[in-house]
Chain A
């Protein structure tokens, strides 16, 4: 058994890093356990000639495809959307595009405004200061004045819109639809010892420049300087409890394959919307036969994934191609509920630049735009450097049938049962996807594109893992309370995307981190009555 600590944080990704940094000022002894390793920027694909190929190999977004020692398998056979993640310090922020929208005020009042799902127990105003703090810690670029949001001040100037943003923005103006330069967790100027973006275009497989805000280069250096201990290659198998229904610590497998027990006064879970329910469901005992913190029966249920539609077209003139942060502008035109449509809630668009030559060829052949044999080379040159498009990020409403359970057979390398995903796209979301494809084609046609293609849902896009340990005031309808503490186990907290009540229609990382900072703030302000 290891020496007891005050706080154990499980997971060193977006939320684990933020909560660790925030709690450092308490001077409690805090240890974070991370199943992966530190990413090394010198290993990232953009440093080598095989930069595109490796995004389909050892830097693939699917843990099943990568199959690296840090990864655990995920049975996603029963889902049209396959799970994406990165296991290591920084978590998903190492691989994300750093497109950094916030949820909108209406996202926290879904039941009140639109009569579906549930309201969150917190609102935009409550989280607003934590969004702002997180923007400063990550280093967020953007342009003030977006009419789709309450006023917010970016930390530094926006990333370039480039020829792609100009082309698609002009088309949006012609249609009278909203668009705006994306908030991006990408530096456009030197900041806190980090260098600005040099348009590598490879945000999705780790930023060798360090300009993209993954938490291994933002929160973690600060947290470690403040004496937080981060242990890598430590995979938590289960959380232990005592007769008082309190967590006493965690069991984990170290890099040598031995299982050890780490006692702690407080356990904080930051393992994402699949890793967290996996550990809770693996932590059964006589006191918690259905899994830990699961008296509501909702652990693992209400999984939300944000189905994506992808619409792309090709242009007569060269655009930005593979250069620059892949996402340049966004649109919130179809975000809020409109009674004229046949679905409730909505979606955002993220507009993206072109593809490298390998992706151009693979997609071109798959879409029938690039023939085999004679004609291949001429067709390739009509596609390469001339494509642009968008994906729609569709709000996924919570449904208990969409869930994470434990696979009865599949296990990871340490013998821990693996998660199994059961997921269907709802009728409402399907209508949203269809709407976004139709509008996306309109936009591209207005921009002068030809050879337009669409994929909906995009299968390998299960990035956003939300809802599987939802937040709420009612212990029968939620897993954690309004400040992230388990209803059942009063020294157990959850700070990752599992606590989302609804998903909104935007990338969740900024909200995940704002919630983590908010929960940390609640822990600090309630420290003398934390377990009452």
Chain B
């Protein structure tokens, strides 16, 4: 059972932050083609670090699993080797990988630049809301024509 702690979570240590930055850069790199920053963009990374509250413990476990021994930390590896290690981590520990994916996506996809790039208005849903088409109600004619399908049991 997971029970969230009410006490403030301790911040990530400097080595943990460095590893996380490396992971999120590998996960969502910047793209000139789509005009978006990577998840390691300073503004987005700061948002991630401020938002990990309920996932602090699991995130720390994930980062420790990625780093392994101190002399072979992820950030110290050449880029191709980083990608290989992360691919192996995702296969070996999908639940922990999901924690990092979640904390990253929650912040990356609310960044102004990213929202604009994927065609969203840069605003919350309320108070303006959205338009949704009514749809073609005549599509229900075959359903009506088929008639009653429930059992009458009183």
Residues on A close to B: CB < 8 A?
44, 46-53, 56-57, 60, 62, 64-67, 69, 73-77, 104-106, 108-109, 112-113, 123-125, 143, 145, 147-150, 160-163, 165-166, 169-170, 172-173, 176, 178-181, 197-202, 208-209, 320, 322-324, 332-333, 335-336, 356-358, 360-362, 365-366, 372-374, 376-378, 380-381, 384-385, 410
* Docked-complex contact B110 and A53, CB < 8 angstroms: yes
* Per-residue contact bits, chain B 108-139, to A (CB 8 Å; 1 contact, 0 not): 11100011001110011111111111111101
Shortest C-beta distance, B3 to chain A (Å), equals 5
Which residues in B have their C-beta under 8 angstroms from that of A320? 132-133
Of the candidate stretches B10-18, B28-36, B59-67, B70-78, the one touching chain A is: B28-36
Question: What are 17 residue pairs bridging A and B, where the CB atoms are less than 8 Å apart in the complex?
Answer: A47-B127, A56-B106, A64-B2, A105-B150, A106-B150, A149-B150, A150-B152, A173-B139, A178-B143, A201-B125, A320-B133, A323-B131, A358-B105, A361-B109, A362-B101, A366-B94, A376-B29
Which residues in A have their C-beta under 8 angstroms from that of B119? 385
- Using A57-B53, A67-B5, A357-B118 as known contacts, say yes or no to A163 and B150 having CB atoms under 8 A apart: no
Which residues in A have their C-beta under 8 angstroms from that of B154? 105, 108-109, 123-125
* Docked-complex contact A372 and B90, CB < 8 angstroms: yes
Shortest C-beta distance, B19 to chain A (Å), equals 15
Interface residues on B, range: 35 or more
* Docked-complex contact B152 and A49, CB < 8 angstroms: no
The 10 closest A-B pairs by CB, nearest first: A198-B129, A67-B4, A161-B135, A323-B130, A53-B106, A324-B132, A361-B105, A357-B109, A208-B126, A200-B125
Taking each of B5, B94, B132, B139, which has the highest tally of chain A beta carbons within 10 Å of its own beta carbon?
B132
List the B residue with the shortest CB-CB distance to A421.
B1
* Docked-complex contact B150 and A362, CB < 8 angstroms: no
* Docked-complex contact A64 and B1, CB < 8 angstroms: yes
* Docked-complex contact B5 and A160, CB < 8 angstroms: no
List the A residue with the shortest CB-CB distance to B97.
A365
Shortest C-beta distance, A212 to chain B (Å), equals 12
Which residues in B have their C-beta under 8 angstroms from that of A56? 102, 106
Shortest C-beta distance, B95 to chain A (Å), equals 10
Contact of A65 among B4, B126, B149 (CB under 8 A): B4
Contact of B149 among A147, A374, A384 (CB under 8 A): A147
Which residues in A have their C-beta under 8 angstroms from that of B28? 372, 376-377
* Docked-complex contact A113 and B151, CB < 8 angstroms: yes
Contact of B26 among A148, A336, A356, A372 (CB under 8 A): A372
